[in-house]
Amino acid sequence: MSVPIIIDCDPGHDDAIAILLAAGDPAIDLLAITTVAGNQVVEKTTLNARRICTAAAITDVPIAAGCARPLVGTRYVAADVHGDSGMDGPSFGEPTVSAVSEHAVDLMYRLLTGHPEPVVLVPTAPLTNIALLLIRYPEVTRHIREIVLMGGSTERGNRTPAAEFNMYADPEAADIVFRSGLPLTMCGLNVTHQALATPDVLARFEGLGTELGGICVELMTYFGATYRKLWGFDAPPLHDPVAVARVIDAAIVHCAEASVAVELRGQHTRGATVVDLHRHPDRPVNAQVALSLDRERFWDRIVTAVGRLGERADRADRAPRADP
Ligand code: BDR
Ligand code: CA
């Protein structure tokens, strides 16, 4: 039985690979892709979702745009990491997959309440849409099986020394989600930095021999260059697919129970996730926190999913078209 999920994302190089993993792995039933402002403005992240779905011939999953700015404060994009388009590197043509006109939050609500079983939400972006969903439709929680998100860290941040980007971009939304009482899994930087797209990984994508495999190499090459320049990494960490992998097979991402709070006020620490792994009785557990990754199984799932989608997309490209 595949697990029904909705990805809420801001593509984003690593979001794009998360979408491919979710759409290409049989353990997942991808109900929708919703977008939000994050790595770039929401118009661009939505266009990028359409671009990667067009490239992978993902034509049966609705894409809906959501919030254009955080709940509080000003919008902050990550053009230094993801480029002006939000997904610089490959050159994409005009996408043929379109977005629906319904707002992301309304689409989520409709799909969640209409689905026969509770659905897993997989946010890989600032949590604005998810917080708004919980505020606008409080009764929706009984239709949510779990939230498995990429964001935060048990250690230091990346956008500031203390805060990870998805938390920093909308701390108030993150606070609402972490205090929602819903089952929650946090895949933070401490584990996503174990998901490095090293040269052997790029060679596996290249070896698929598909156009989509080539696009993945271009995405990771661009991402690798910015990670080298900004943080001195030898290879780029593919953060967002870690959350999808956790849903596919819990054994890929080892977690421990913890209490997690989001810092809202600190002058230098706003958006930091304050994680207590010691289970102090004063701080009740509100999350599963990812600690380690089975890298081999992680990359096997991604390469297999991209291979499956890429072959299907190439076949669709070669299929004779009916005369107009
Ligand atoms: C997170 O921020 C974004 O830049 C990535 O897409 C990922 O979701 C990593 O901090
Ligand atoms: Ca992201």
State mean pLDDT over 320-324.
61
Q: Produce one character per residue of 184-215: b if its CB has 16 or more CB atoms within 10 Å, e if not.
A: bbbbbbbbbbbbbbeeebbebbeebebebbbb
Burial bucket for residue 254 (CB in 10 Å: 0-12, 13-18, 19+): middle
Question: What ligand 1 atom has the least distance to the C-alpha of 237?
Answer: 9
Listing DSSP states for 237-265 in one string gives B--THHHHHHHH-GGGEEEEEEEEEE--S
pLDDT per residue over 208-244, tens digit each? 999 999 999 999 999 999 999 999 999 999 999 999 9
Name the pLDDT band for 321 (thresholds 50, 70, 90).
low
pLDDT per residue over 67-92, tens digit each? 999 999 899 999 999 999 999 999 99
For residue 69, give the nearest of 130, 128, 125 by alpha carbon: 128
Residue owning tokens 């990494």: 233
Catalytic residue status for 82? no
Domains recognised in the chain with CATH numbers: 3-318 (3.90.245.10)
Atom 4 (ligand 1): residue with closest C-alpha? 39
For residue 261, give the nearest of 285, 281, 278 by alpha carbon: 285
Question: What ligand 1 atom has the least distance to the C-alpha of 15?
Answer: 6
What is the Å distance from ligand 1's center to 11 Cα?
Answer: 9
Question: What ligand 1 atom has the least distance to the C-alpha of 78?
Answer: 4
Question: Which residue in 103, 115, 239, 268 is the catalytic one?
Answer: 239
Residue 324: pLDDT over 70: no
Pocket flag, ligand 1, residue 219 (CB < 6 Å): no
Name the pLDDT band for 137 (thresholds 50, 70, 90).
very high
237 strand-pairing partners = 196
pTM exceeds 0.85 for this model: yes
Pocket flag, ligand 1, residue 170 (CB < 6 Å): no
